[in-house]
Chains A and B, each alone.
Chain A
Amino acid sequence: MASGIKDKVAIIGMGCSRFGERWDAGTDTLLAEAFDEALADAGIERSQIDAAWTGSCFDRINVGNSAVPAATALRLDGIPVSRMENMCATGTEALRGAAYAVASGAVDIALAVGSEKLKDTGYGGLPVQTKGTFNDLWLPMVSAPAGFAQLAAGYRAHHHIAKDDLKRAMAHVSWKSHQNGVHSPKAHLRKAIAMDSILNAPMIADPLGLFDCCGVSDGAAAAIVTTPEIARSLGKRDLVTVKAVQLSISSGIESTTSKWDGSYVRNTRTAAAKAYTEAGIKNPRTELGLIEVHDCFSITELVTMEDLNLSEPGRAVHDILDGFYDRDGRVPCQIDGGLKCFGHPIGASGLRMAYEVYNQLLGRAGDRQLPGVSLGLTHNLGGVPYLGVAAVSVLGLH
């Protein structure tokens, strides 16, 4: 394996817009909110940016396709700007592009920015889209919750867990995130939810009820990266560096052969293993100080705890109910409220997670601040559990 990019790239500035139903803001405004904060945090001028990666998932309701609309919105003149789109991993993909450019020595300072304007559709949930001319002929048009709800059936069957027990653990996932989200000023949903409300919510895709699903929001987030050397030269003392960014994508094994049992996400396992190697992590359960994972749905977070090798196979239900991932647990998960409370503006989410880890590492997380954090992880899942992409990044103090 290649030596990787551990500690070759430092994050010197990050920004995050307020997430929510931003009836007041178009994509350009959201991008600007995140960008302005990142520029100020980095203490650099727009003109010092050598290249940019901009992420957004849906063409029709955003600024449009290609990198041109985002470059125009942020007035990035004459520099290379590339658009990233890899479903829900888009934000992390933008960060990966910028980080690789810096690590390669091709540029000194790069911008990663992601955004999504989901609330311009006229209806709730994600926009409906086609899957390509051939796939449309045979693939059922499942909603996102239906793609992930199948994990519950697979997990339940594989581990012989009763429906009610699994539902209770799933409910705890959402309950915990809502508890945390109260303390996130930029979150969309900032209200604690009672367990009973979660358990008895209307069904969206069996067994996922309304509160098993993350919010649908508008938002943007941005990161400015450079080398640790340049960061020091810019006067930065506490440095957050990228320890690892890894990606894994489906080739059809899970969805076409019998080599997947339906109870886990193969891509997460692959990406996590590579990321741990790149970052030099031997035991994630003891080494990671916090994790921001892709809790698009409660069941996703549950199986992700096993896929990230934090809980033993079949034990996530118990770790979750024991509070291992709660705010005061050993590995706090979604300390900012996660997708559950921020919602999931696709192109922004990966960078929003990095924003929280970055701020926790620098001790700037306000009411949410966890003590003694030196290493954190972000995780994204794009597409569906059986046909998609997983991104895992590890950020830490240098």
Chain B
Amino acid sequence: MAFGITAWGAYVPRLRLERSAIAATHAWMAPSLNGLARGRRAYCSWDEDVVTMAVEAARLCLGKRNRAEIREIHLASTTAPSADLQSSAIAAVALRLPSSVRAFDVGGSQRAAVSALGMALRRTGEPTLIIGSERMRARPASAQEMQYGAGAAAFLIGGADVAAEMLGSASMTTLLVDHFRAAGAAYDYFWEERWIRDEGYLKVGADAVRQALRDANVAAGAVTKFIFPSPFKGIAEVIAKSVGLSPASIAESLESNCGFAGTAHAPLMLANTLDQSSPGDIVVVAGFGQGSDVLVLRVTDAIAAARPTKSVGEVIEAGVGVQSYAQMATFYGEIAPDYGMRAERDTKTALTEQFRSSDQINGFVAGKCSSCGQVQFPQLAYCVLCQASADAFEPVCLAEEDAQVLTYTADALTYHPSPPMYVGFAQFDIGARLLMEFVDVDPNTFDVGTRLQMRFRIKERDPTRDYRRYFWKAAPTS
């Protein structure tokens, strides 16, 4: 029975900063950064993290597919928000996967997503969701601050309508420490780039690619697309030359308008490649870190039907430039500007209440009254219109429902990490209505009647206890 990738989808945060703006900020002490100052990098807004990006990528990947069939979810990241609070579980509830789903967080290396993808493909087991998601910090004025981006990509692995199947693979594990980050530390510590290239990529990486091609019984010249992610320029090119892959096979690096997204980068590049693939294409995708995992995939006839409604290219093109280094530095915790006393409000979460209302809050589940038909959020004990008991409410998830703006304002007074807070009533086409925060707003076009789609985001951070709570926000339909 065929088994492989049946669907994919990606998410890249909307915010972009020109690398020249970063270089200009640090030019007084690090003028050499100017050499990297081309293009733009993506960065997370204050309310985006590994979990929210993973959920968005998975939503695009899953589309209208039956989520109840998914048996496993793996979320790969080296920048998960919690050391002991499963990101994959938060994502599973937000995605309304069945409660019987097996959830795994994987990490520890930037190759983790490709490792997880390879494991799922090798097992030919049950429908599995594999997500890579990354939001890396970089020390101000470091090369990484210029190179890094952020994003997530998700793959559904299953046995029906397989769009890409695995022909072979290879894994190598060595202790080449090109960089590391201690548990709880903010920044990566890198060794010299030239050594990483010569001893790491060109020996370990290239060897793994050769082994994978042998395992797949595929000649180097037959490879259509070659994906080897790296924060450094030209790495895929030198490996391809060493292995004998055609220069035309080098996959788009996503460097110019996104940046290197760590664990999520190979998944992002793979999603971008699949967006543009044709049946019969051979795709080689590698993950690198303490060795390498390499997968050799063949694209099938089902590829066209499997494509998500939005390509990686379209997701990245939707980026909006913000000419403020300080904003990125603030969102990543590099500087702590004075938000005033209003920011002192305690945001302690009642975990008891969070559990009681987990379906409503994380799953965005409204109730449809069985007596009068009103769809309502939140669900309280009685119907808002006919007072019938909520016992007879039918659950209706609002996450994939369309809405439009009924009222709005830009609140410059309330504490908000990215003022002003756009807020107002979202009127859903199916009748539900609630006050929501609006995100990704273009002030020039936003108005009553603007069409909305939902986004899973951080509702509030609790700096006292280092906790974050999530809820849904509404963004203009793109």
Query: Contact residues of A with B, CB < 8 Å?
Result: 121-123, 125, 128-130, 133-134, 136-146, 149-154, 156-157, 203-208, 251-253, 255-259, 261-262, 386-387
Contact = CB atoms under 8 A, between A and B. Distances in A.
B389 interface: no
Contacts of B347: 136
Contacts of B349: 136-137
Contacts of A134: 353, 357, 378
B422 to A, nearest CB: 9
Contacts of A207: 409
A153 B408 CA distance: 6
B177 interface: no
Given A125-B413, A256-B384, A142 B433 contact: no
Nearest to A151: B407
A123 B354 CA distance: 31
Interface residues of B, number: 53
Contact of B345 (A130, A156, A256, A386): A130
Interface string B441-456: 0000001110000000
B413 A138 contact: no
Nearest to A252: B384
Contact of A150 (B357, B424, B460): B424
Query: Chain B's interface: helix, strand, loop or mixed, by majority?
Result: mixed
Given A121-B341, A143-B413, 15 more contacts: A125-B342, A134-B353, A137-B353, A138-B378, A138-B434, A141-B414, A142-B435, A145-B413, A149-B409, A152-B409, A153-B447, A205-B410, A257-B376, A261-B406, A387-B435
B278 interface: no
25 contacts: A123-B341, A128-B342, A130-B345, A137-B471, A138-B360, A138-B361, A138-B459, A139-B435, A140-B436, A141-B345, A142-B421, A145-B413, A146-B411, A150-B407, A150-B408, A152-B409, A154-B448, A203-B412, A205-B409, A206-B420, A251-B384, A256-B434, A257-B376, A258-B427, A262-B425
A142 B414 contact: yes
Contact of A140 (B341, B360, B437): B437
A146 B423 contact: yes
A133 B350 contact: yes
Contacts of A157: 447-449
Interface in B393-442: 405-415, 420-421, 423-425, 427, 431-437
Interface of B: 340-342, 344-347, 349-350, 352-354, 357, 360-361, 374, 376-378, 380, 384-385, 405-415, 420-421, 423-425, 427, 431-437, 447-449, 459-460, 469, 471
A252 to B, nearest CB: 4
Contacts of B415: 128, 141
B425 A150 contact: yes
Contacts of A130: 345-346
Nearest to A135: B378
Contacts of A252: 376, 380, 384
A262 to B, nearest CB: 4
A393 to B, nearest CB: 28
Label chain A's interface by main secondary structure.
loop
Contacts of B412: 203-206
Given A137-B357, A251-B384, A253-B384, A206 B433 contact: no
Contacts of B437: 140
Identify which of A122, A141, A145 gathers the most chain B CB atoms within 10 Å of its CB: A141
Given A143-B413, A256-B377, A137 B354 contact: yes
Given A130-B345, A205-B412, A257-B433, A140 B421 contact: yes
A257 to B, nearest CB: 6
Contacts of B353: 133-134, 137
B401 to A, nearest CB: 14
A128 B345 contact: yes
B432 to A, nearest CB: 8
B342 to A, nearest CB: 5
B357 A146 contact: no
A386 B423 contact: no
B433 A146 contact: no
Contacts of A153: 405, 407-409, 424, 447-448
The 3 closest A-B CB pairs, nearest first, are A146-B411, A150-B407, A149-B409
A67 B384 CA distance: 33
Contact of B471 (A128, A129, A138, A156): A138
Contacts of B420: 205-206
A390 B14 CA distance: 42
A249 to B, nearest CB: 14
Contacts of B406: 154, 261-262
B47 to A, nearest CB: 12
B264 to A, nearest CB: 28
B433 A255 contact: yes
A133 B415 CA distance: 19
Most A Cβ at <10 Å: residue of B352, B413, B469: B413
B417 to A, nearest CB: 11
Nearest to B408: A153
A207 B447 CA distance: 12
A122 B341 contact: yes
